[in-house]
Amino acid sequence: MRRTAQLWTLMAALVAAAFALRTLVLIDATALWSDELYSVGKSFQPSPLELLGMLRQDTHPPLYYGLLWFWGQLVGQSPVSLRLLSWLAYLGGGAVMVAQAVALSDGRQRVLPLALLLAFCSPYPVRFAIEGKSYALLVLLVALAWWWRRAERTVPYGVMAGLAGLTHFYGLFLMLAAVAWDGARRRWRLAGAAFLGA
């Protein structure tokens, strides 16, 4: 029985790795589309002051664009580097989701292969991994927030909640929903941490 579980895990890991590598190849398969061009226009500024000037005129939360500016300074400002940041966030988010599933499984062997396939092979994570937008980073930050929430570590949970809210409005609304949920259940420490983060 244990060998069968190991075989399923190995097969799922190989499929997940194949998806991740195929996704990496796809980051340069198409031209940038309009929303990605907005990301470039906002983030690939020549200086931090010009970046701040651009972000003052924007309605979106600033964290992704600031991170993208620093990333561009580090590896170069190109369509590939724009999408590579999303691909790395996809890997990180997938790893955190798999770790979370295993931690919640109480040692059940079937969970790991399924978690690998869902985290790395589902359409949305793959799509987010090849777009120069903030969605893959948001998935990573929300996954980290849930990790710390489950561990009831309020400081890192609040920090991740804040970072998720600064990345995309969906992150902010999700954290506020968690505040309402935990408040309704009288888990005041968790509700307070997410509220402060939001």
pLDDT tens digits, 103-126: 998 877 789 999 999 999 999 999
Residue written as tokens 């309402």?
Answer: 180
Taking residues 176-193, report their average pLDDT.
Answer: 96
pLDDT tens digits, 65-98: 999 999 999 999 898 999 999 999 999 999 999 9
Contact (CB, 8 A) for 191 and 183: yes
Give the span between the Cα atoms of 67 and 48, in whole angstroms. Answer: 11
- Residue 163, pLDDT > 60, answer yes
- Residue 1, pLDDT > 60, answer no
Taking residues 148-152, report their average pLDDT.
Answer: 96
Give the span between the Cα atoms of 192 and 181, in whole angstroms. Answer: 11
Please report, as a single letter, which amino acid is at residue 18. A
Contact (CB, 8 A) for 115 and 48: no
